[in-house]
Amino acid sequence: MFLAVDVTKPLESVGEKFAYGGQMLLIGMSVVFSVLLLLWGALELFHVVVTKLPAAIEKKREKKVEPAPAQEIAVTGNEDDEEIVAVIAAAIAAASEENPAGSFRVVSFRRV
């Protein structure tokens, strides 16, 4: 048998010592790579659970929610500045609710 070594008697020749060392090398490397393979599989499973399942659930939620139709607001020159600021703040709040990642940024205001 390949892995059968009698450890009760001392190894006498150099060939026996190298054969025993080679067997131990193969057993040790097999155990290490088997454990690494199990860890890799566990990490891949966690990756799927953490990233892909919440994304699929979020897609299902987005399909159910229909956005309200956009309303056009006509701004005339007679309105107060406070009212314009309130409308702009409401638009920014609505945009930040739709995209919570924060990619929406107000750079400047310009009177039309």
Per-residue CA distances from 88 to 43, 69, 110 (Å) = 46, 18, 11
Q: Are residues 48 and 95 in the same domain?
A: no
Domain limits at 32? 1-66
Q: Are residues 34 and 62 in the same domain?
A: yes
* Token couple for 27: 């057993």
Q: Are residues 50 and 84 in the same domain?
A: no
| 5 within 8 A of 21, measured Cβ to Cβ | no
Between CA 69 and CA 9 the distance in angstroms is 87
Percent of all residues in the chain with a pLDDT value above 90, rounded to a whole number:
21
Q: Are residues 59 and 72 in the same domain?
A: no
- pLDDT confidence tier of residue 78, bands split at 50, 70 and 90: low
pLDDT of residue 82: 78
Q: Are residues 1 and 46 in the same domain?
A: yes
Q: Are residues 78 and 109 in the same domain?
A: yes
Q: Are residues 14 and 41 in the same domain?
A: yes
Q: Are residues 54 and 83 in the same domain?
A: no
List Cβ neighbours of 23 (8 Å cut-off, separation of 6 or more): 2, 3, 5
Q: Are residues 9 and 22 in the same domain?
A: yes
pLDDT of residue 1: 46
Which of 66, 82, 97 is the endpoint of a domain? 66
* Token couple for 31: 């155990």
Q: Are residues 60 and 89 in the same domain?
A: no
Per the model's pLDDT, the better-predicted residue between 81 and 33 turns out to be 33
* Token couple for 67: 């956005």
Mean pLDDT over 17-46 rounds to 94
- pLDDT confidence tier of residue 48, bands split at 50, 70 and 90: confident
Amino acid at 92: I
Task: Give 2-12 pLDDT, tens digit per residue.
Answer: 556 666 777 78
Q: Are residues 29 and 55 in the same domain?
A: yes
Total domains, the chain: 2
Question: Which of 13-22, 23-32, 84-93 is least confident?
Answer: 84-93
Q: Could you tell me the sign of the dihedral formed by the alpha carbons of 12, 15, 19, 22, in that order?
A: positive
pTM greater than 0.75: no
Q: Could you tell me the sign of the dihedral formed by the alpha carbons of 58, 63, 65, 68, in that order?
A: positive
Q: Are residues 80 and 102 in the same domain?
A: yes
